[in-house]
Amino acid sequence: MVQASLPTGLLERQRRPLIQAGILLVVLLAVSYVIATVAERDLGLFLDTWSRLVAAAIGAGGVVASLASWRSSPHSTARRVTITALGVVSALVLWLLYLTDVLVRATVQSVVIAIVVSAVVFVVANKWFDASLKDWRRFTALTGLIGGAAIAGLLVGNRNMGLFTGSGEALADRSLLLVPVIAVLCGALGVALSSLKVQPTKAIVGAAGGGVVGLLIGAFFRSGSLPSLEPVALLVGPVVGAALFVGLARLRGKALGPAAVTGATFGWLLGAFGIPELGSGTVLEAIVGTAGLGLLLGLRLGLAQPDTMESRIRLERKARAVIFLAPALLFIAATLVIPTIRTGWLSLLDRTGGFVGLGQYRLAFSDPNFYNVSRWAGIFVSTEFLVFAVVLVIGLVTVLLTRRQIDQFWPPRLSIATAGAMVLLGVAVTANALAGEGPPTANVLTFAMIALGIAVLVMLVRYLKAHPGNSGISGGSGMALTLAMIFLGLALFTNLRGTLFNNIWWVFLVTILATGVGLAIAALSDGAKAESFAKAMIFMPMAISFVGASIIWRFMYIARPPTNDQTGVLNSLWVGLGQLANSGAAVPVAIGFFLVVGGLVLLALRGFLSGALGIGWGSVFSAIPVAWIGWLFLSGNIGGVTEGPGGQLVAAPILFLSGTNQVGAYNNFFIMVPFIWIYTGFAMVILSAAIKGVPSDLIDACNVDGATESQKFWRVIVPQIAPTIGVVITTIIVTVMKVFDMVAVMTNGNFGTEVLANAMWKAAFTQGNRGLGSAIAVMLFLLVLPIMFLNIRRMQKEFH
């Protein structure tokens, strides 16, 4: 990657790009001038010289940066040409947009200003603390200057002080003059304090200097900020503050005198400006307040220990960490941490801002569109549940038969967890039978089911972790178990309805399918012909927005009236199949299907006879759906095509997004499809890289031992990439949990497809109930909390 030696010349400034940029700037300036003249004459756009200059700088900077990256780039020529051309073109496009579009100009200006200001602040801050090591006097002078400017700037900016005309009116535009004056005074005080070493003198000079600066500040206080001092507060404040700080200093074993002054300073601030009414006092009172504050502050600085090299180094290191971290951490605090806390508080308020406790949460759960378990009994009688049971049995039998050490399959903890969950389930069912059908017992049963699922999953994951490569799960059984899980989900979520369950279903199904299909494609494409092309095509949807994907898939799902031709791909196929099944070709097609079934049965026999049970069961397993489709063809029950009264065929296209099947439960699935379409590529790319990272000697050892491809995959590669699979799953869960765009664009939550993020948006911004919106957002936060916890655990391990 990077050479360990110091690259020569890296620490020297590179001057050539600067010269190039200068030349380009002049050229682009000339061109800008011509374009701007033409634009002014023909389009009526006016540009001042300053704007032309900035436009030229943008163009020149972009072109030079692109060319510089050309020189230093280690890539092949074709790639370098692409990247450089892209950079040059985008710089020129930005330049042209800057010249012609007002909005782009405003944005570029604000970004440039923001970057220049932050860069200046950053460089000044670094230079400032450089001085603390090299020249202590310069450092104190700078500190005084910056501190004074900051205090004066804050007071002027908040209209607490200013210059006045004769009649007492504030001079808004000249008041900033106070800032440099006070800054210079503070700087001088800094120099004085760092030059004096003898103690009583130093403290006296500090107190006197601070008092003078405070006096000056107080004299310019504006009438709205004058405090009406209360002698009691002014006395009690410093005393209490000093006592508090002395106590703390004793506990920490520090010097008591300076601590007392620090405490008194805070106390004075509170007593003079915190407690009294502002705006009703006199100038004299303001001067007393500020001069006292300045005096105490100066005294504290005067009492400071003389600097040593050690203290300077400590200061420099601390300050440097703060300088480097402050911008990012401040931004994170302002946009993530504080708003999240505030959302928690807002969720306890009602529409008008009154405190309602958990009322908004109760409101959410009392809405049957949000949380509805009244149809829970339907879970156990649904077709999906039946299919789940059958597939689960097939899968378990396959697992048991393909394993060598059957006795290890049910590890103690797994059986305890299962038993516990079963007991819970039994209690719930009994309670339900005793109490008759009602919401409370339905809740118990629901949570028992969910507890069962989670317990089994957790134990399974722990078991797989403890016995890597020996899980007994292989191609056929792995697919069967995954399918069983999906059908269990279908059974649960077609009967438990509402926003909350929709969200859980999204997480469940999208995570399984995107990860599973992604893993399958990663395995299939590994070493295949044109691997990178196939992977790029599958990965491409990652570049498409959720909104774009929603629109793309709406075109796939279009259902035209039955009398028209279908124009969407899926309904064309569906109706076409139905027409085929009801035509003369039905029998030959069905025969084709049954031939495939026959082949699979033969293969199954071969597998069983040669002892490859995985192949045997895998074939049996895949023969069933094929036979089912053949049967559908023979009976004509496919494609929704029925015979009308006149004997003609009438098609019934599928309403993918607005169907009424099981109160719209399946509509959710068809909104998930585009999401899976996008995130399969994500899973594939990461898992494919992980598969390529499996040590080749492991694979070689497998080949020497004569392992089959299937064994190699399930017993060596999957356990090796298990941590990566975990990362992919957590990433997808976090993304899916907050799904918003697709639901908003495709159905806007209608037809039983509401999810938490969309419900939150509607509550907060359409209905104007911010409390309810915040409550739903908090629920979303609670749902990702376990993932956050897992991430923290993982990072703790990896940080060192």
Partner 1 sequence: MAATTASPSSGSSLGVGPGGVPPRGGKGVGKTIYRLISGLPTWILWGLVALWLTPTVSLFANSFRTRDAQRSSAWWLMFQDDSLTLENYQQVLTSEVAGGMWQGLLNSFAIALPATIVPIAMAAFAAYAFAWIDFKGREWLFIGTVSLLAVPLQTSLIPLLQLYSGGARQTVPFIDKTVTFLPDMSLAGSVTAVWLTHTGFALPLAILLLHNYIVGLPQDLFESARIDGADHFQVFLRLVLPLSVPVLAAFAIFQFLWTWNDYLIALTMIGGNRAALPATVVIASLAGEFGIQEHLLSAGAFVQIFVPIIVFFALQRYFVRGMLAGSVKG
Map the footprint of partner 1 across residues 681-740, applying CB under 8 A.
681-682, 685-686, 689-692, 694, 696, 699-700, 703-704, 706, 708-710, 712-713, 717, 724, 727-728, 731, 734, 737-738, 740
Q: Residue-wise over 610-645: b if at least 16 C-beta within 10 A, else e?
A: eebbbbbbbbbbbbeebbeebebbbebebbbbeeee
Map the footprint of partner 1 across residues 339-378, applying CB under 8 A.
339-340, 342-343, 346
Map the footprint of partner 1 across residues 259-278, applying CB under 8 A.
270, 274-275, 278
Map the footprint of partner 1 across residues 59-118, applying CB under 8 A.
69, 72, 82-83, 86, 94, 97, 101, 103-104, 107, 110-111, 114-115, 118
The two structure tokens encoding residue 141 = 């002078």
The C-alpha atoms of residue 745 and residue 768 are separated, in whole angstroms, by: 20
Site of tokens 């949570």: 447
Total residues binding partner 1 (CB under 8 A): 168
The C-alpha atoms of residue 485 and residue 513 are separated, in whole angstroms, by: 11
Smallest separation (angstroms) from partner 1 to the CB of 229: 15
Neighbour tally for 247: CB within 10 Å: 13
Select the residue interacting with partner 1 from 199, 228, 280, 564 (CB under 8 A).
Answer: 564
Q: Which is nearer to partner 1, 16 or 606 (CB)?
A: 606
Binding segment for partner 1 (CB under 8 A), chosen from 24-32, 291-299, 461-469, 543-551, is 543-551
Q: Residue-wise over 336-351: b if at least 16 C-beta within 10 A, else e?
A: eeeeeeebeebbbbbe
Contacts of 428 (CB under 8 A, 6+ apart): 441, 444, 445, 448
Map the footprint of partner 1 across residues 156-215, applying CB under 8 A.
158
DSSP E strands: which ranges in 390-494?
A: none
Map the footprint of partner 1 across residues 473-532, applying CB under 8 A.
475-476, 479, 517, 520-521, 523-529
Map the footprint of partner 1 across residues 601-630, applying CB under 8 A.
602-603, 606-607, 610, 612, 614-615, 618-619, 622
Smallest Cα–Cα separation from 448: which of 486, 382, 496?
Answer: 496
Strand pairing report for 642-643 and 649-650: antiparallel
Q: Which is nearer to partner 1, 637 or 748 (CB)?
A: 748
Binding segment for partner 1 (CB under 8 A), chosen from 4-12, 137-145, 177-185, 490-498, is 4-12
Map the footprint of partner 1 across residues 126-155, applying CB under 8 A.
126, 130, 133
Q: Is 581 helix (H, G, I), strand (E, B) or coil?
A: helix
The C-alpha atoms of residue 175 and residue 158 are separated, in whole angstroms, by: 12
Smallest separation (angstroms) from partner 1 to the CB of 662: 25
The C-alpha atoms of residue 106 and residue 51 are separated, in whole angstroms, by: 10
Would you say 688 and 535 are in contact if contact means Cβ atoms under 8 Å apart?
Answer: yes
Angle (CA) 220-226-230 rounded to 5° is 135
Map the footprint of partner 1 across residues 311-340, applying CB under 8 A.
317-318, 320-321, 323-325, 327-329, 331-332, 334-340
Q: Which is nearer to partner 1, 186 or 559 (CB)?
A: 559
Smallest separation (angstroms) from partner 1 to the CB of 783: 8
Q: Which is nearer to partner 1, 300 or 712 (CB)?
A: 712
Smallest separation (angstroms) from partner 1 to the CB of 465: 18
Q: What are phi and psi of 170, to 5 degrees?
A: -80, 140
Select the residue interacting with partner 1 from 96, 450, 542, 655 (CB under 8 A).
Answer: 542
Would you say 674 and 552 are in contact if contact means Cβ atoms under 8 Å apart?
Answer: yes
Smallest separation (angstroms) from partner 1 to the CB of 668: 19
Smallest separation (angstroms) from partner 1 to the CB of 429: 36
**H or E element in which residue 642 lies:** strand 642-643
The C-alpha atoms of residue 540 and residue 520 are separated, in whole angstroms, by: 17
Work out whether 544 is an interface residue with partner 1 (CB under 8 A).
Answer: yes
Binding segment for partner 1 (CB under 8 A), chosen from 370-378, 465-473, 642-650, 679-687, is 679-687
How far CA 774 is from CA of 331, 345, 754, 765, in Å, comes to 22, 8, 17, 11
Q: Which is nearer to partner 1, 301 or 777 (CB)?
A: 777
Work out whether 534 is an interface residue with partner 1 (CB under 8 A).
Answer: yes
Can you give the C-alpha Rg of the chain in angstroms? 37
